[in-house]
Amino acid sequence: MARCHPGPVYVYDLDRVTAAAEDLRAALPAPSLVYYSLKANPHEDVVRALRTAGCRAEISSAGELACALGAGFRGAECLYTGPGKTDGEIAHALRHGVLDFSVESAHELRRIDRIAAVEGRRAGVLLRVNGERAAPAGGMHMTGSPSQFGIDLELLGPALAVAARCPRIDLTGLHLFSMTNAIDEPSLIQELRRSIATAAAVCDQYGLAPRMLDLGGGFAAPYTQSGRRPGYPGLAQALRQELDLRFPAWRTGAPVIAFESGRYLVADCGTLICTVTEVKNSKGKQFVVLDAGINALGGLSGTGRLLPLSVEPVGIPRAADASGGAEVLGPAVTSARIVGPLCTPADLLGREVPVPRLRPGDRIAIPNVGAYGLTTGLLGFLSRPAPTELVVRGRSVVSASRLELIRVPVDREWEDDAVG
Beta strands in 30-122 (DSSP E): 33-37, 56-59, 78-80, 100-103
User: Which residues, 6+ apart, have CB-to-CB distance to 60 below 8 Å?
Assistant: 38, 39, 80, 81, 82
Q: DSSP letters of 276-321?
A: EEEEEEETTEEEEEES--TTT--TTGGGT-------EEES-SEEE-
Q: Would strands 312-314 and 363-366 be described as parallel, antiparallel, or unpaired?
A: antiparallel
Q: Which of 391, 384, 327, 395 shows the shortest CA–CA distance to 359?
A: 327
Q: How many angstroms separate the Cα of 334 from the Cα of each of 259, 364, 407?
A: 42, 15, 44
Cα angle at 15 between 12 and 20, to 5 degrees? 95
Alpha helices in 84-219 (DSSP H): 87-95, 106-119, 156-164, 185-206
Query: Catalytic residue at 343?
Result: yes
Catalytic, out of 67, 166, 203, 343: 343
Between CA 313 and CA 190 the distance in angstroms is 39
For residue 41, the 8-state DSSP code is -
Contact by Cβ (8 Å): 374, 296: yes
What is the H or E stretch that residue 236 is in?
helix 235-246
Q: Give phi and psi for 233, each to the nearest 5.
A: -65, -25
Residues 325 and 370: their CA atoms lie apart, in Å, by 39
Assign 173 to helix, strand or coil.
Answer: strand
Active-site annotation, residues: 343
